[in-house]
Structures are given as structure tokens and as C-alpha cells.
Structure 1
Amino acid sequence: MGLAGVRIVLVEPAGPMNVGSIARVMKNFGLHQLVIVNPQCDRLSMEAMKMAVHAKEILESAVVVETLPAALQGCVRVIATTGRVSSWDIPLENPRTALPWLLAEPEKPVALVFGREDRGLSNEELNYAQRFVTIPSNKNYQSLNLATAVAICCYEMAQFIEQPEAQPTLATEIAPWEMREAYYQELEALLLQIGYLYPHTAASRMEKFRQLYNRTQLQTTEVAMLRGILRQVEWALKNARDRENCDS
């Protein structure tokens, strides 16, 4: 089991020195896939290259995308890093206990997502992850530098793969990220159609559904079954409307 399939995803990083330092620490621990969402700095600037030292190729080969969903295409497991989320009923885990889950399917692409230096990830962006990591720090000063946070997580993953006895013996085939997202979109549309959701509260209610499903770690066959149920309900609703129109 290696780290080759792990994507380090940075959302709107603003500091070129941070980005360069992240490239360096990625190479230190054997990671090579850097994806940057809507960067607010030049990853190829002199500052970034200077901090990358001998990891300049990671900056040069980094994939730049406009949105977080674009960065997560193809991933089967996604962990987001965050601070305290007081408004969410979600568990925040320690990197040492959560990150091994990210590596349970070594042949599949996975992502570890880091937010902005000043405000982290939004609730909407957190919605795209299945699990959430926070790095414990002194309560008097809990804000960690972005590059430091990446370094801690990379170290924990590297330590884990060097301990074969600690690695999982059975990995579940979790549904790909885009398959889960398609289901969430279809579910929201149907719930709006039948009046269970209202447009002004749909986002907050769907957050609860996402949290519920993320806890179950949906497999591909299970998502396919759930999507089949939605389509059958949509078919039944359409037939009922057609019969009403014919009767009238």
C-alpha cells in the first residue's frame, strides 16, 4: 500500500510560500498529486519555487481546477480537514485514527482536502467529504499554518503504510464520489418536487441527508439501488399526473 493514489487538494490557497512548502513536504513523504482549486497565488512564482526546493516538479505538474467537485472527480474516499464545526452534528477525528481509512483501497484515487489559510472550508465544501479531520493543538492558539497541517497529515499517512500489521485486511468498495453526488442531486430534486423540501431550507436539510449517508459508507451497488428507487418514484408520479390529466 502506497501513497501514490492520494490527492492533496488545496482550496484557494493565497500564499505562494505555503504552496511551495506543501510541494516539498509532499515529496518528503512520497506524495505527488497536487490539485489546486481556484488558486489565489501563482504556484510557479519565485517564492513558491524557492520553498519547494527539490520538489519543483510537483508544482509544475499540479492540476489547477475551478471548483472542488472538479478536483474530486474519480475519488472513492474523501476526507476534509477543518477546525471545530459548531453548527454541524458531525464527528471530528484525529488524523492518526481517520487517515488510515483513506488508504484502505490502495488501487483507488482518494483525496485529502485542505481549506483556505484564513477561513478554511465552507459548509458547502465540507458536504463533499465523507469524514472530517481536525488536528489537536493548544487551546490558547489553535490556528495551524496550512503547510504545517499538510505536513502532519502526510507524516501520519506515511507512518501508517510502514506498519503492515496495522493496515486493514478488508476494504469495502465505496461508491465513487461522482456517483454519490449524482444521487444527492436526484434525491434533492425529488424531495423538492413532492414538497418534502422547500427551496429556502433545502441546503440545510440536504446536509443532514449527506451526513446520514456518509456514516454508512455507501457502496456502488447500494447507490445504484437507491437511485433506482428514486427513478421508480419519479415514474410513478409521472404516471399519476398523466392519469389525472386524462380523467380531467
Structure 2
Amino acid sequence: MDKKYHQWTTDPTMKRLVIIAEGETEESFVNNILRPFFCSKGLYNTIQCFKTKHSHGGMSKYSYIKKDILNTIYESDVVVSMMIDFYRLPSDFPGFGELSNSQTHQEQADLLETRIKEDLEETQNQRFENFIPYIQLHEFETLVFASANGIDILFDRDEIDFKGLMNVVEEYPNPEEINNYPDTAPSVRLKKLIPGYNKVLHGIDIINTVGISELLEKCPRFKTWIESMAEALV
């Protein structure tokens, strides 16, 4: 077992982990990829996930996920996190007005996460050490690009633009840096490269084909989130 993960294991007093997801695919990702991974590292306590209300497959208002967080965070022995996309994040999120072009997207996501936690703590007048905010750069499909080998395994070469796929992979060794413009966001690129791609049908299968280790290796921000949740559970 990796030394980094050994410290997480076999504590019978571990807390429950609840992740609030943006949509159906993210919910499936937590249930079918993250839960088995945590269990494989000895984190056998309950890991639950539910889709935020009123999402309709995407985040529409900050107030919705805030309500979901507050409905969960007061439960006993619980660690609460979330998985929502940076791409097309609603402008009513705390800190959105502070974002500037001089900041990297990672800095912007970090700022938003900080402001979300501050908003919860200020409005509730208490600290929430059991809350770990997470905004995915730039969207779920980033993780699919990190699993590009799975695309080549699941799809025939004549079903995909393989050269175009490899060009993106080579240009962005860290898929979290793929930009979020309407014509070049990860989801838009995937649909162009794989005409038959369906997020719900194929996204989890592609990632599962290569395993979560690929994501941890190629997506440092995602890796930090995983480690933060695991450490908070013990």
C-alpha cells in the first residue's frame, strides 16, 4: 500500500463522508469510482452521495447547494464535501465578483471555495471544520481526458478523432488546465472528438477502464481534494 495512504486506514471511529454532487454523472462517479477507492484504502465507513436539488444536470443557484450543505453538515460524525463544475458556475456564488483575468483558473477556484466556506460560517455564526468545498476544474470531462487511454480501449479508432484526442492530451499534460471557453471546454472538445460520446453512458466507463490512479497522477487539484477528504475522515 502507498505510504501516503497507509495513515488513513483501520480506524473504527472514522466519520461518514457525504458528497453533494452537481449531477447524475458526478453522483455515479462518487458511488462507482470514489467509494471503491476509499474502501480499498481501508476507509470502510459510510460514503454517501446525492445530487443537489433543482440542478437539472447543472448548477443553477448557489442557494440550492447551500441549503443542501446546511441540511447535512449538522449531522453527527459527518464530513461534507461537494463536487461542482467551475465551467458555467452561476454568478451568485460567493466570491464570483472578485474573480479577475489576472488570476489563474486554479486561483479563481481556490478563492471561490474559500468564500463558500466563509459564507456558510458567517451566516451560521460557527466554524465548519467538517466541510471541504471542491470546485472541479473545469468540469467532469476533465477527468475523462485524464483517462484518455480508456477512450482508446472502449472506442474503435474509426469512432473517434484519435489524432485530435492525442493533440489535446499532449497540449495539456494536466487536464485541469484545459480552458473553459464555450468552444473549447472539455465537454465540447469530447463531443467533437467522439461524436457518439454521452456523458452519462460513457464517462464513468472510460474512467473505470484505466482506474483512479490516472486521475491522481495527472490532476493535482483533484488529488488534493481526495487526500483532504480521506484525512478528514480519520
Asked whether the two chains share a fold, i.e. TM above 0.5, the reply is no
Provide TM-score, normalisation by structure 2: 0.29
Larger Rg: 1
Structure with the largest fraction of helix: 2
- Higher relative CO (CA 8 A, sep ≥ 6), structure 1 or 2? 2
